[in-house]
């Protein structure tokens, strides 16, 4: 007997499949939360070289302080990466743009000052990922996507070897643990490694969840399930936009986008193993147990009478 015939006996799309679909849509909501998260947690606010107190002997206003210490670029804004070697006090007297005293410009050597009116804290302000170090900012996003690639290759293999449900649990644990550790990172290296491993877990639980949904439905309902799953991405993006608007600190935003993984861990116990996979592993008893659960929820009481594990 083909598996499709067995599935017809227990119900191809009843309460069991609907509940499974709703639960397994959660990973498809969580991944978009992290997919575009870098835009917000690593945003680059306006910045300029930090100005020491020795460069402000006359208690100048902030605007004048910038004029005498920070050179302007062609569009009239202050440079983000350069500072005068010596304060150019004459610039606030005659507004000449020519420097005197043989003073040139140099790179920032005492850090940066950031405009925190939009974001109270980002990874950029945390570790000064600007100017000569700005490539590290994009590298952090690259590490996350490398993790997604590794997860797509590794978790598919592991789920075929050890089962969908076990690797789904492992993926939830990896995503939760390293997602939280990312928020508590004490260095850029720690943050990048944690983001890479978070990507591995997120991709694993996303791929396995859609696999489980499709393996418990017939061909006729797979398009519908795929559509609902795709809509989950939209929901995830909407939630991310709301969270990013409400939370302007990168650590708290990371925790907020990782928190839904705890819901996944709480509902994991109910998620059924794939009966298709169990049958390929010659585990007829295990497959019959989950098929019986499906039949019971779908109001198909005759399944146990018609089909036995043997």
- In this structure, what is the dihedral angle of CA atoms 292, 296, 300, 303, given to the nearest 10 degrees? 20
199 within some domain: yes
Domain count across the chain:
2
Q: Are residues 190 and 110 in the same domain?
A: no
pLDDT range class, residue 307, cuts 50, 70, 90? low
122 within some domain: no
User: Kind of pairing, strands 112-114 and 82-84?
Assistant: unpaired
Q: Are residues 88 and 214 in the same domain?
A: no
Element housing 99 (H / E): none
128 within some domain: no
Q: Are residues 99 and 191 in the same domain?
A: no
Q: Are residues 104 and 173 in the same domain?
A: no
The tens digit of pLDDT for each residue in 176-199 reads: 999 999 999 999 999 999 999 999
pLDDT range class, residue 102, cuts 50, 70, 90? very low
pLDDT higher at 255 or 90: 255
Residue 156 to residue 145: CA distance in whole angstroms: 17
Q: Are residues 201 and 66 in the same domain?
A: no
Write a three-state SS string for 104-154.
Answer: CEEECCCCEEECCCCCCECHHHHHCCCHHHHHHHHHHHHHHHHHHHHHHHH
123 within some domain: no
Output the domain CATH number for residue 39.
Answer: 1.20.1250.20
Answer whether 213's CB lies under 8 Å from 229's CB: yes
Q: Are residues 53 and 25 in the same domain?
A: no
Answer whether 265's CB lies under 8 Å from 172's CB: yes
> What pTM was computed for the model?
0.88
The gap from C-alpha 84 to its chain's centroid, in whole angstroms, comes to 40
Q: Are residues 151 and 298 in the same domain?
A: yes
204 within some domain: yes
Indicate if the pLDDT at residue 123 is higher than 80. Answer: yes
Question: Domain of 102?
Answer: 47-114
125 within some domain: no
Q: How many CB atoms lie within 10 A of CB 148?
A: 20
Distances (CA, A) of 53 to 46, 60, 72, 125, 255: 21, 11, 21, 21, 37
pLDDT range class, residue 141, cuts 50, 70, 90? very high
Residue 181 to residue 88: CA distance in whole angstroms: 46
> Percent of the chain scored above 90 by pLDDT?
72
Q: What is the pLDDT, as a whole number, of residue 74? A: 85
Contacts of 232 (CB under 8 A, 6+ apart): 25, 26, 28, 29
Residue where one domain finishes, among candidates 83, 114, 145:
114
Q: Are residues 37 and 76 in the same domain?
A: no
Q: What is the pLDDT, as a whole number, of residue 103? A: 61
Q: Are residues 73 and 97 in the same domain?
A: yes
Q: Are residues 78 and 30 in the same domain?
A: no
User: Kind of pairing, strands 82-84 and 105-107?
Assistant: antiparallel
Q: Are residues 161 and 198 in the same domain?
A: yes
120 within some domain: no
Answer whether 170's CB lies under 8 Å from 146's CB: no
254 within some domain: yes
Q: Are residues 36 and 63 in the same domain?
A: no
């Amino acid at each position: 007997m083909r598996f499709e015939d067995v599935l017809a006996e227990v119900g191809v799309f009843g309460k069991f499949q609907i509940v499974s679909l709703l639960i397994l849509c959660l990973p498809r909501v969580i991944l978009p939360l992290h997919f575009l998260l870098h835009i917000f947690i690593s945003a680059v606010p306006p910045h300029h070289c930090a100005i020491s107190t020795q460069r402000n002997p006359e208690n100048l206003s902030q605007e004048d302080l910038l004029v005498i210490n920070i050179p302007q670029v062609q569009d009239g804004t202050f440079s983000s990466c350069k500072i005068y070697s010596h304060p150019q006090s004459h610039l606030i007297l005659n507004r000449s743009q020519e420097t005197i005293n043989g003073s040139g410009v140099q790179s920032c050597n005492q850090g940066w000052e950031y405009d925190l009116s939009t974001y109270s804290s980002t990874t950029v302000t945390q570790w000064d990922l600007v100017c000569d170090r700005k490539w590290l900012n994009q590298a952090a996003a690259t590490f996350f996507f490398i993790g997604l690639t590794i997860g797509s290759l590794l978790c598919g293999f592991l789920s075929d070897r050890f089962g969908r449900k076990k690797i789904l649990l492992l993926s939830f644990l990896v995503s939760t643990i390293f997602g939280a550790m990312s928020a508590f990172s004490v260095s850029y290296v720690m943050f990048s490694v944690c983001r890479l491993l978070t990507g591995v877990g997120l991709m694993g639980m996303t791929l396995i969840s859609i696999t489980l949904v499709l393996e418990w439905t017939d061909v006729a309902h797979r398009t519908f399930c795929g559509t609902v799953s795709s809509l989950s991405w939209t929901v995830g993006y909407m939630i991310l936009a709301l969270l990013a608007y409400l939370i302007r600190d990168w650590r708290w935003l990371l925790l907020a986008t990782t928190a839904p993984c705890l819901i996944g861990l709480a509902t994991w116990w109910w998620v059924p193993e794939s009966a298709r996979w169990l049958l390929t592993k010659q585990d007829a008893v295990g497959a019959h147990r989950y098929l019986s659960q499906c039949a019971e929820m779908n109001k198909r009481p005759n399944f146990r009478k018609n089909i036995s594990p043997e």
